[in-house]
Amino acid sequence: MDKRELVQVLDDWNSWNHTIPYGIIRSDYLRRISDNIHQNRIVVLTGARRSGKSYILRQLMNHLVKEKKLQKNEIMMINLEDPRLSNLTTTILDEIFEAYVANQKPKNKPLLLLDEIQEIKDWEKWVLMMTELEKADIVVTGSNSKLLSQELSTLLTGRHIQITVYPFSFVEYLNLLNINPAIEADSALDGYIQYGGFPTIIKATNKEEMLIQYASDILSKDLVMRYRVRKTQEIRNLMNYYLSNPACMITYTSLKKYLQMSVDTIIKFSEYLQSAYLVFFVKRYSEHVKEQEKSPKKVYAIDTGLSQAVGFHNSANLGRMVENVVFLALKKLEELIPVSLYYWKDDRNREVDFVLVKNYRIQHVIQVCENVRQPKALEREIKSLLSCLQKNDLQKGIIVTRNHAEEKQIEDKLIQFVPAYLFLQDPMKFIKEY
């Protein structure tokens, strides 16, 4: 590809000569990225396809020019899935960089924004070389967690920071739709649960059709093609099962009987689905690693809209959908504060949906009970919560409800009932109150 063609491709992706749309500002991500660039450290954005990584890069360009006073020609962005690009090896990265420098002539060390970098074999060596020689600051994105393989982690130890990009949070969803959180958040939660937080879905008219296409794209581009999967129907069946059963316990042996697949295939395909950020698995908390590994896992979807569109559901699943959006809010905290997320169960099978663990000790206990008007279900959830609090010498626990708010002193423990529409707006607020 000659330099003139490369310059045309680069011009299309950058704001050197024209304005490019950058969508709804995601300030939390911009802050975290801005804090880590220009530190001789590679910033790696990962997350599900369509979760907004490319637009965050566009927003970063705009932010750095307006707020940090960088010159437009000191920033270069390229999407490496652009079909006009060929020879997807590190050679193309050299050619792109040379074409950019010759055309734009940046006076200072430039910032390179390399979108969907996993398309380039051995990209990590090129990025490390550019960083160590101080030729550029670099932000990369990828739609597959295999981007940070063991080899990459070893190569870039101490030289990179990973930031996971999720679909819109409930707060971002409210902001996009100009919904007053103090007045309309409760009713807005229904729409958020039904259609999820993928940025382009929220205002779309054909939401379900687009969500089904999203799932198909992730399956074909990030799984079937990348891993050369031949059993395409089997991996699709497993994906549909997981998306149909969010917040449920799974074991590979039980899935073997249900899906008529070998355990080895289920394990392999589950890892693929998780690597593409379609699903997450939460382990049972135990002080014994062997018990953690042997216990069933709980599965959650990247997005309740995707789960609703692709999976098979009925109205009785609302409680599990509420639990899934609470999970997503808590999952993000793992990168922000030093905690790990588990579920908890005692020897009498009393279960707590989420515990946050720090320094091998449970710090926070969170139960989800969507409908507190069912006395037997509520009693079961409270007993499980109390058991966890007592065994871990904690004084307070949270029960996230659909819309019930209350504080109760039960035995010697304080139970705080928090409506989901409040908890999702600021989970840190309620955790800090411990």
Domains of the chain and CATH, by start: 3-165 (3.40.50.300), 169-325 (1.10.10), 332-434 (3.40.1350)
The residue ranges of DSSP E strands in 307-389, in sequence order, are 340-345, 351-358, 361-368
Spatial separation of the C-alpha atoms in residues 152 and 160, rounded to whole Å: 10
Cα within 13 Å of Cα(62), Cβ side: 18
285 Cβ contact partners less than 8 Å away, ≥ 6 residues apart: 292, 342, 343, 344, 355, 357, 362
Name 207's Cβ contacts closer than 8 Å, sequence gap at least 6.
195, 201, 305, 309
Q: Tell me whether strands 297-301 and 111-115 are parallel, antiparallel or unpaired.
A: unpaired
Closest by alpha carbon to 53, among 29, 21, 34? Answer: 29
Residue 106, helix vs strand vs coil:
coil
Q: How many angstroms from the chain centroid is the CA of residue 40?
A: 25
253-266 pLDDT, tens digit per residue, is: 999 989 999 999 99
Contacts of 101 (CB under 8 A, 6+ apart): 110
Which tens digit of pLDDT belongs to each residue from 358-367? 988 999 999 9
pLDDT at position 312 is 74
> How are beta strands 396-401 and 413-419 bridged, if at all?
parallel
How do residues 185-202 score in pLDDT, each as one tens digit? 999 999 999 999 999 999
In this predicted structure, the answer to whether residue 147 has a pLDDT above a threshold of 70 is: no
Q: Which residue has the tokens 């070893």?
A: 154
Mean pLDDT over all residues of the chain? Answer: 92
Query: What's phi and psi for 407, nearest 5 deg?
Result: -120, 135
Instruction: Render pLDDT for 274-322 as a digit per residue (tens, 0 to 9).
Output: 999 999 999 999 988 888 889 999 999 999 999 999 987 655 588 999 9
**What does the pLDDT look like over 18-58, one tens digit per residue?**
999 988 899 999 999 999 998 888 999 999 999 999 999 99
Choose among 65, 142, 129, 119: nearest CA to 94: 129
The yes-or-no verdict on residue 377 having pLDDT over 90 is: no
Tell whether the model's pLDDT for residue 80 goes beyond 80: yes
Q: What is the pTM of this model?
A: 0.93
pLDDT at 219: 93
pLDDT at 313: 65
* Integer CA distances (angstroms), 280 to 130, 201, 230, 283, 298, in order: 34, 21, 23, 10, 8
Write the DSSP string, 153-178.
Answer: HHHTTTTEEEEEE-SPPHHHHHHHTT
The one-letter amino acid code at 409 reads Q
Q: What is the pLDDT of residue 355?
A: 97
